[in-house]
Amino acid sequence: MDLTSFANAIGNIGQSVVDAVKRVINLNFDVYLTNTKDSETFHFPVNPLSLTINREKKYNTADIIDIGEIDIGDKGTKIKEINMETLIPDVYEPYCRYTNIANSKETIEKLEKWKDQEEPLRLIITVIGFNSLVNMSVMNEEIRPEGLNNNRYFTFTFRTHRDLKISQVDSTLQDNRQTTTESSGAKYSHREGEWIIVTADVLNVRDGPGESYGIRGTVKKDECYKIGSVQGNWADIYWSNRGGWICTDYVR
């Protein structure tokens, strides 16, 4: 069924919904959500009806004696929050990205569990090159009378995930009133958007920035990857259509 025939077949639907469906069909991109807890990946069956990206200025955090924690401005901006409106279908429709559509009730229950868990999720949106750990902060359902075949409309909000880091200042330094700064990433030279080359023979790719996270694969010596984000000596790289974290002690 072509786009015109499909639009005519659902003529009783509001024009705004038809226009949104046309945009979804015409945009050739995909949205994936991977649970770092068990590496299960959910491919959203319908591309977003709307996608809003909120950015914020980059900051490095410093802890200065007698002043406390302050933010030091860095160049550029980073994505802080992504709002996405989509629908969860119960059966295959021409605007779906694939034909094997899971039961919508089971899908919604799974996503609700993912929202409530402590472990971060990995969100990939191919059309904008977004590939990062996030937390799902909002999952709201909207009741629409024009819904087809029990389709359920949802608004998702994802916030970029950051591990909490707490620094402790030596009391002897404080007594001597010496000024100490600690800037996240100041010790390491690698930055977002940089291309790096693996120097180890085999290097683990993990679900998060640390050895406590699960291993999802490996990269090999002399392979080249682009950094999506950096936390300390860990880099989130664009790898295997899903991404993952590697230790930058073994790259150049």
Q: How confident is the model over 24-41, as a mean pLDDT?
A: 79
pLDDT at 21: 54
Mean pLDDT for the stretch of residues 212-227: 86
Give the global pTM: 0.54
According to the model, what pLDDT value does residue 4 have? 56
Arithmetic mean of pLDDT over the chain: 75
Average pLDDT of the segment spanning 99-107: 90
Question: Does residue 17 have a pLDDT over 70?
Answer: no
What per-residue confidence (pLDDT) applies to 8?
A: 56
Distance CA 51, CA 20 (A): 12
Q: Any idea which of 38-42, 105-109, 180-184 has the lowest mean pLDDT?
A: 180-184
Mean of pLDDT values over 143-167: 71
Q: Is the pLDDT of residue 214 over 70?
A: yes
The first and second tokens of residue 12, run together, are: 């009783």
Give the phi and the psi of residue 20 in degrees, each rounded to 5: -65, -40
Task: Please say if the pLDDT value at position 66 is more than 70.
Answer: no
CATH 2.40.30 residue spans of the chain? 3-52+78-160
Residue ranges, comma separated, of all CATH 2.30.30.40 domains in the chain are 185-252
The predicted model gives 77-101 an average pLDDT of 85
Question: What CATH number belongs to 185-252?
Answer: 2.30.30.40
pLDDT of 226 higher than 70 = yes
What is 3-52+78-160's CATH topology?
Elongation Factor Tu (Ef-tu); domain 3 (2.40.30)
